[in-house]
Amino acid sequence: MNPYFKTPPAVKNLIIANCLIFLATYLIPQVDSLLGRYGQLFWIGSPLFHSYQFVSYMFLHGSFSHLFFNMFALWMFGRTLEYELGTKRFLTYYFVCGIGAALFQMLVAWVFGEIGFTMLGASGATMGLLMAFGVMHPNNQIFVFPIPMPIKAKWFVVGYIILELFQGWGVNDGIAHFAHVGGMLWGWALLYYWKNKRIIYF
């Protein structure tokens, strides 16, 4: 069997951890209250802010659809990337993107005076995975609903960044669009750092 059809350990365990935490918050009100107060990422000036929240926020999700689409992206792109980067480097990449996404969102919020927000979800990290797939496999065809035809990964990444910037500037929908962009930018920077150091090749 082609190993790329299997789910490697880091991807599998990240999905399990996210799903178990979501299930616990859904079924146990005390866990939901506790993680809502201490697990999500608060604005850095808030008395509820703790530095560990830059990691813990990635394991919390606000709804089943939020969890599903993030885990689907993690599974879809993460399998290939973990096999190619190795488990340790894949985890490093994933968490750098997630932490970088939060930092970028905070920077943009500070510049424009939109402080006081909270963040949760693995979207920044999974968007970093999308960026890595687009960089390392630019001409691979992927299917994206509702587009009726396959699109090359590199053009999907470019289009997604443009869409996120447009929504970040013009749409107040409660989604941290600049965190998505930040995760992709940090991912791109880390990939090219590794490439220049000849740690990875693509």
CATH code of the domain covering residue 33: 1.20.1540.10
101 inside domain = yes
Give the separation between CA 54 and CA 100, rounded to whole angstroms.
Answer: 9
Domain holding 110, by residue range, is: 3-196
Which DSSP symbol is given to 149? S
153 inside domain = yes
With tokens 């399990």, the residue in question is: 16
Q: Rounded to a whole number, what is the distance in angstroms from the first to the last CA of the chain? A: 24
**CB within 8 Å of 69: residues ≥ 6 apart:** none
For 57-93, how does the pLDDT look when each residue is reduced to its tens digit (9 = 90+)? Answer: 999 999 999 999 999 999 999 999 999 999 999 999 9
201 inside domain = no
For 186-202, how does the pLDDT look when each residue is reduced to its tens digit (9 = 90+)? Answer: 999 999 999 999 999 88
User: What pLDDT sits at residue 3?
Assistant: 53
**In total, how many domains does the chain have?**
1
Reported pTM: 0.92
202 inside domain = no
> Residue 2: pLDDT band by 50, 70, 90 thresholds?
low
User: What pLDDT sits at residue 1?
Assistant: 45
Whether pLDDT at 129 is above 90? yes
17 inside domain = yes
For 132-168, how does the pLDDT look when each residue is reduced to its tens digit (9 = 90+)? Answer: 999 999 999 887 766 777 889 999 899 888 888 888 7
143 inside domain = yes
Report yes or no: 122 and 70 within 8 Å, Cβ to Cβ. Answer: yes
